[in-house]
């Protein structure tokens, strides 16, 4: 349904409705404690909905390959991939309303599966398939954001791998460093220092030169 007038009429009658999670990805928290933690600790989004039980829906722009995941380690639900949905804001269930906090807009931060290790639930390899590497900048960015660098889990190797991927797809050392700074903010735990990232980039490009000799 894309009839805006009809949609506004339905919303004005306080009908309950669902939002299909295809272009969006939703972190669905069931408790106030989990909601508060995510809101304090994770990337901000303008589209948030408080649920009647005290949980929250945090809405982000989806990425290729993302799929539903329910009760990951008993905590986080992820609704995505066109097969998941959430109850829409303004809906009333058992006399209680789903309350919009902020603005419902598609101008949203891009969902990053590397956030979930930071949330203490481990990597997400079975639910997220990296975007195919066709050489486009968006594909490379989406791909490297599926690579977490976690201390104690070969995080240094992962960071070096990101530098090598950027080199292999035609980035200059300066461009690679810029991309790694952005990747570092959401995908590394703990985050790497700028000096450490610079060394990874130098090593990756030095490896290429050495391999060509």
**89 and 189 housed in the same domain:** no
125 part of a folded domain? no
Q: What is the mean pLDDT of residues 184-205?
A: 91
Range of weakest confidence among 62-71, 184-193, 196-205 = 62-71
Q: What is the mean pLDDT of residues 33-45?
A: 88
Q: What is the mean pLDDT of residues 161-165?
A: 91
* Residue 209 banded pLDDT, cuts 50, 70, 90: low
In contact, 101 and 48? CB cutoff 8 Å: yes
Number of domains the chain contains = 2
In contact, 49 and 19? CB cutoff 8 Å: no
| 78 exposure class (CB count in 10 Å sphere: 0-12, 13-18, 19+) | buried
27 part of a folded domain? yes
Instruction: Kindly state the tokens that stand for 82.
Output: 């066109």
**Rounded Cα distance, 22 and 94, in Å:** 27
* Residue 168 banded pLDDT, cuts 50, 70, 90: confident
**171 and 104 housed in the same domain:** no
Q: What is the mean pLDDT of residues 110-136?
A: 54
Q: Is-above-0.75 flag for pTM? A: no
164, 67, 70, 15: CA torsion to nearest 10: 140
* Residue 126 banded pLDDT, cuts 50, 70, 90: very low
**44 and 95 housed in the same domain:** yes
Question: Which residue stretches of 23-154 are H helix?
Answer: 32-41, 115-118, 137-144
37 part of a folded domain? yes
**Quick one: pLDDT at residue 207?**
75
**Quick one: pLDDT at residue 55?**
92
**36 and 88 housed in the same domain:** yes
Q: What is the mean pLDDT of residues 118-136?
A: 45
**Quick one: pLDDT at residue 90?**
87
**27 and 98 housed in the same domain:** yes
**Can you give the residue range of the structural domain that contains 29?**
4-118
124 part of a folded domain? no
29 part of a folded domain? yes
**81 and 151 housed in the same domain:** no
**Quick one: pLDDT at residue 51?**
93
**9 and 53 housed in the same domain:** yes
Instruction: Kindly state the tokens that stand for 174.
Output: 């300066």
**71 and 166 housed in the same domain:** no
């Amino acid at each position: 349904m894309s009839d805006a007038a009809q949609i506004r009429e339905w919303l004005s009658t306080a009908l309950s409705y669902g939002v299909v999670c295809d272009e969006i990805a939703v972190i669905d928290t069931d408790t106030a404690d989990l909601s508060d933690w995510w809101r304090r600790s994770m990337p901000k989004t303008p589209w948030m909905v408080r649920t009647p039980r005290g949980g929250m829906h945090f809405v982000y722009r989806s990425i290729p390959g993302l799929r539903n995941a329910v009760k990951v380690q008993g905590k986080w639900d992820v609704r995505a991939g066109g097969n998941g949905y959430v109850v829409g804001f303004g809906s009333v269930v058992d006399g209680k309303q789903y309350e919009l906090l902020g603005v419902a807009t598609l101008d949203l931060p891009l969902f990053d599966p590397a956030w979930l290790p930071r949330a203490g639930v481990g990597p997400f390899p079975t639910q997220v398939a990296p975007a195919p590497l066709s050489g486009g900048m968006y594909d490379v960015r989406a791909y490297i954001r599926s690579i977490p660098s976690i201390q104690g889990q070969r995080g240094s190797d992962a960071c070096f791998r990101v530098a090598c991927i950027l080199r292999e797809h035609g980035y200059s050392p300066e461009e690679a460093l810029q991309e790694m700074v952005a990747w570092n903010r959401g995908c590394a735990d703990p985050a790497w220092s700028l000096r450490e990232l610079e060394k990874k980039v130098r090593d990756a490009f030095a490896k290429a030169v050495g391999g060509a000799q």
